[in-house]
Amino acid sequence: MTSVLIGSLLISLLHAVIPNHWLPVLAIGRKEGWSLAETTRITFIAGISHVISTVAIGVLLALIGSELATHIEDFTKIIGPSVLVLIGLYFVKQHYTHHHFHLEKKQIEKKSKSAVIIALVIAMFLSPCMEIEAYFLLAGSKGWYFMALIAGMYAIITIAGMLIWIRIAYKGVLKLNWHKWEHNAGIITGLVLIITGIISFFIN
């Protein structure tokens, strides 16, 4: 249980700082001339949309995990950790093509402010965080309290992280190669999943 909780925390923290969650909002905000307050508010709305879709899928996977744990004796010991390792390997392999959130330029050109915001919200809703979903699957076998703990932790860290980074980047306080960081995020995410799976296998 501890390894799953720590893995979920690490993925949530990583998820919060991945630029493709908030960088498009910042780019659009600057293009549209939004103030910091407007950009922050729209980032919050988009973040809520993203969290809702991610947690909704997570709850369904938690239900599946709960049922599997009931009917398959080795689910928590072997199958669950194996799922984490396999998903981790997938993200390591696919990190260079993984785009968590992408909005085409033509989707916002010559659009009203309301239309742009709606496009952002829809784009975020339709791009849930698949990295965290494996942890929901395992959390279902640990009980609904544990699943709720992961969901709450993920939601708070993700939204808070997006709001913090959008303000830092908007003010130009920190100069980083965000695209390079985004490019390497898949490898880091994959390694966290793999390590969590291996640890879970040995301590369950």
Give the number of domains in the chain.
1
pLDDT in tens, the chain (204 residues): 677 888 888 888 887 777 777 878 888 888 888 999 999 999 999 999 999 999 999 999 999 888 887 777 666 667 777 877 888 787 777 665 545 555 554 555 557 788 888 888 888 898 888 888 888 988 888 888 899 999 999 999 999 999 998 988 887 755 555 556 565 666 777 777 788 778 767 765
Residues 9-37: b if buried by 16+ CB within 10 A, e if exposed: bbbbebbbbbbbbbbbbbebbeeeebeee
Q: Please tell me the predicted confidence (pLDDT) of residue 198.
A: 82
Residue showing tokens 């398959």: 72
| Encoded tokens for 131 | 């990295």
Which residues constitute the domain of residue 41?
2-203
Residue showing tokens 């950790």: 81
> CB neighbours (10 Å) of residue 158?
25
Q: Report pLDDT digits (tens) over 28-52.
A: 888 888 999 999 999 999 999 999 9
The whole-model pTM stands at 0.78
